[in-house]
Amino acid sequence: MTPIQVLHGQPTPEELATVLAVVQSRAATRAAAAAEASGPASAWTARSLRRLPAPGPHAWRTSLWPR
């Protein structure tokens, strides 16, 4: 995060704390939105995709699937 610089006026410590709280909350919101939008790292991590076919009456259909 870049430093915040006061250009005009003499803000009180309470005003500076308020501004910093707003800036930090917006940064945290953006970081959370970016993490949520990124999704899973890879489909290979999904256990349902790596599941082997179960034996049964139609198991022959999956016999040629790549493993």
pLDDT digits (tens, 9 = 90+) for 17-54: 999 999 999 999 998 888 777 666 666 666 666 666 67
Q: How is residue 1 written in tokens?
A: 């995060």
For residue 50, what are the contacts with CB-CB under 8 A and spacing of at least 6?
A: 44
Residue, of 14 and 31, whose pLDDT is higher: 14
The pLDDT score that the predictor gives to residue 44 is: 63
Does 64 have pLDDT greater than 80? no
Nearest to 51 by CA among 27, 29, 67, 31: 67
pTM for this entry? 0.48
